[in-house]
A and B are shown apart, each in its own frame.
Chain A
Amino acid sequence: MAQEDTNVIDQPEVLRHKMVTIEISGKKYEVPEGITVIKALWHTGQEVVRGAGCLGGFCGACATYYRTKDDPKVRTCLACQMAVEDGMSFTIMPPFPARKALYDIQSLKDPKQDLFNLYPEAPLCRNCNACTEACPQKIDVREGVWKAVFGDFKSVSEMFMDCVMCGMCTPVCIADIAPNLVALYVSRAQGAHFTEKPQGLDIRIKEIQDGRFNDEWSKVLAMNEQELADHCATVK
């Protein structure tokens, strides 16, 4: 079918299907080129319980260290979002025992000051930038830690909206800061304490409590199937 032939996307990995050699936790395996790191684990017969979550790049369960052929630089990725290539070497990051501070977000009196009680290590950043380099989401983590310390909670909350809490910024920190946890605290404080309360929302809640929609409800709920279908069709 000629029409269809012109409508086919070239895929080099399909055209020239080949196996590549990779290293998983130091052990060599042959896997098809271009599959994701997590699929490479399955392909080589490994059971994955810890190390897989949403499989869509949102949950941070599959934080992975990897190195490409002949490159000394160890990089980070999410295993579900990274394709394997020949000579690649990788290991899934084990859960890292970072300390999470416990707090009651609503009852904080001075959240910007409380940061230093909850995470006293936060201002000890030595600017090495390792956290930023470790972030698979490309967040400027180091900058975020400094902004948190200087009380610019709004910027931190915006910068860390991409954070999947994989925690790869944590083991590299020479000051033992867990930047993702600091940013989570800061973002929650920003939302709970420093963001304007939406007035329209309170009005709507009150309208519902006061029964403003009761007449409309009784009308709608009294309709038979056909009347309701007809009524739905009028909603534009």
Chain B
Amino acid sequence: MDIHALQQIVHQTRDARRKQTIPKFSPADRDQLIHKYHPDYRASAYRPIRFGPNADDKTVVELAALLEGDSSIPEQIDLTPQYTTDVLVIGGGGAGCAAALHAHATGAKVILATKLRLGDSNSVMAQGGMQISVAPEDSPVTHFLDTLKGGHMQNDHDLLKVMVEEGPSIAKWLIELGVLFDRQADGNLHVKKGGGSSKPRLLTCSDYTGLEIMRVLKDEVLNQKIQLLEFCAAVELLSDDNGQCTGAIFKDLDNHRHVVVAAKSVILATGGIGRLHIQGFPTSNHYGATGDGLCLSYRMGAKLDHIDTFQYHPSGAVYPEQLIGALVTEGIRSEGGHLVNAKGERFVNELDTRDVVSSSIIRECEEGRGIRTMSGRIGVWLDTPLLDAEHGPGTVEKHFPAMMMQFERFGIDISKDPVLIYPTLHYQNGGVKIDANSETNVKNLFVAGEASGGLHGRNRLMGNSLLDLMVFGKRSGLTAASRAGSMPQGKLTLNHLQRFRADAKKHGNSSGVISPMILPAYTRREPERTATK
């Protein structure tokens, strides 16, 4: 059927739906729903990791293969460093920039290396906002409790307390650097309500929050003349005789040469794993989100936490084909957008946590109340025109300019027509286990941002990622920099890699893949050939 004909039911039922309130699930119903429909509970997608710090823990098969994967570095390689620094930051997104800036501000020598350009990251795409408890009726404790509830009570309390308490000072830092957060008429920060939060707490820059923050941070990294190694992908870490981290080996993606960097501390800010397309899901993640930091730190002996849980953002675009997996910001639901099935019914409280909303969308589709596309996708409607009906014409355009433009390019006006959505692989809830200074169990190896684990428990709350990046980027940068003065540069060895390879051999060798992946293999190697008769 024509898409407009199918959309009619959304228009027809809009007024009736506006009078409806959908209660949130009881804890028992919510657990049942998630266990039945959330991809984290699809047992066939998981297997135990065979060896290493998380031996026998289960994770998705795609990640297990990479963690058990072998390094591209031979054991005999010249480790004479081309660069020497106090702090080596790997990753150029939000956490990496924050770490580099804070470390640099203390006077430490900093190198920031990234496999793509400075700023290429998921951070730049964050649309929903940044949770910071600035409103008078809100508090860091309430932020703590909301996050804990969203994370199924599995969050690391120390990390979480640090994040919510440092939030406000992070907002101040960003404002001083020139970030333009949305304001109320009285000049105070405007706060929006996010899914799973009891109070409005999202600071926003229209629907360009991540982009605005990243434009400013990137510019500041350049202004501070922090040394950059762009298009340099980390392929192995370096350790001294005590197993402490002392640097990294990179592959320069322009000339394919190895670059050795000696560093007193290393901060991995390598982001998430969406481009592994776990369970075949499309992803909202950027090109380089291949979990490199997880593999690198795992080989060094760093323990991972909550590595079996991923966030499937409820609203990834399903139509048009070109936008598959692209995010339709949660902000639409924050402002009252309904989720509607093929029968024109709402089926979940749209502001419930992401895992609950995603599970309920999957349920609707599996039970035959989804809308199919000819390319074999399925989804439910997100009633975007409702926002204009509710808050006045022009609301969608004014509050979601990025979203409007993205769909307009394909001839779709989301202020007039609902969009078809289905969950998309969005975020790695867990990662490398860190302490409150963002350090791993490997001394002088720090991990900040999405690559780290523990803070978000088993489900990250909307808007907590941008804050995570800034807080733990800062703490890792400051801690790493503070050690530089009193610490000599350690020896550069590959002892950890020898240990890892020996361990692999004991367990029937590595998975046969080389990790980290660096970039997804989207390039088609050979065109299909039709056999001649």
Contacts and interface: CB of A to CB of B under 8 A. Distances in A.
A4 interface: yes
Interface in A15-72: 15, 34-36, 39, 42-50, 52-59, 61
B211 A105 contact: no
A45 B286 CA distance: 20
Contacts of B219: 100, 184, 188
Contacts of A43: 524
A213 B168 CA distance: 14
Given A54-B286, A201-B188, A49 B231 contact: yes
30 contacts: A9-B6, A9-B372, A14-B374, A34-B322, A43-B524, A45-B523, A49-B253, A52-B116, A57-B402, A58-B210, A83-B322, A104-B223, A161-B180, A161-B206, A162-B405, A163-B215, A187-B180, A188-B177, A190-B180, A192-B176, A195-B183, A198-B134, A198-B175, A199-B187, A216-B141, A220-B144, A221-B161, A225-B153, A232-B148, A235-B142
Interface string A80-114: 01110000000000000000101111100000000
B482 interface: no
B215 A217 contact: no
Contacts of A82: 409
Given A54-B286, A205-B168, A11 B141 contact: no
A233 B27 contact: yes
A198 B124 contact: no
Contact of B168 (A7, A137, A204, A231): A204
A33 B288 CA distance: 26
A120 interface: no
Nearest to B147: A232
Interface in A206-235: 208, 213, 216-217, 220-221, 225, 228-229, 231-233, 235
Contacts of B210: 58
A13 interface: yes
A161 to B, nearest CB: 6
How big is chain B's contact interface, by range? 35 or more
A105 B144 contact: no
Interface residues of A, number: 83
Name the 7 nearest CB pairs between A and B, nearest first.
Answer: A188-B178, A191-B178, A196-B187, A14-B374, A192-B178, A54-B286, A11-B374
A4 to B, nearest CB: 6
Interface in A131-160: 137-138, 157
Contact of B374 (A9, A48, A161): A9
Given A102-B222, A162-B405, A56 B284 contact: yes
A80 to B, nearest CB: 9
Contacts of B122: 54
B146 A235 contact: yes
B145 A9 contact: no
Given A61-B116, A205-B172, A103 B406 contact: no
B524 A138 contact: no
Given A9-B3, A138-B405, A213 B223 contact: no
A192 B211 CA distance: 17
Contact of B523 (A46, A102, A195): A46
Contact of A9 (B135, B284, B319): B319
B372 A7 contact: yes
B149 interface: yes
Contacts of B148: 228, 232
B251 to A, nearest CB: 11
Nearest to A202: B172
Interface string B278-294: 00000010110000000
Given A4-B368, A14-B374, A59 B286 contact: yes
B342 interface: yes
A191 B175 contact: yes
Given A53-B116, A213-B140, A11 B375 contact: yes
A58 B406 CA distance: 10
Contact of A221 (B149, B157, B372): B157
A229 B372 contact: no
Contacts of B402: 57-58, 162
A236 interface: yes
Contacts of A48: 522-523
Residue from B254, B284, B519, B523 having most chain A Cβ neighbours under 10 A: B523
A56 B189 CA distance: 28
A96 to B, nearest CB: 13
A192 B216 CA distance: 11
B420 interface: yes
A198 B145 contact: no
Contacts of B253: 49
Contacts of B2: 9-10
A49 B157 CA distance: 40
A11 to B, nearest CB: 4
B330 interface: no
Nearest to B342: A7
A197 interface: yes
Interface string B223-261: 101000001000000000000000000000110000000
Given A7-B342, A61-B116, A192 B177 contact: yes
A54 B374 contact: no
Contacts of B208: 58, 161-162
Residue from B3, B180, B405 having most chain A Cβ neighbours under 10 A: B180
A49 B373 CA distance: 32
B152 to A, nearest CB: 10
Contacts of B225: 102
Contacts of B141: 213, 216-217, 220
Contacts of A13: 321
Contacts of B401: 161-162
B450 to A, nearest CB: 14
B178 A189 contact: yes
Nearest to A138: B405
Contacts of A14: 321, 373-375
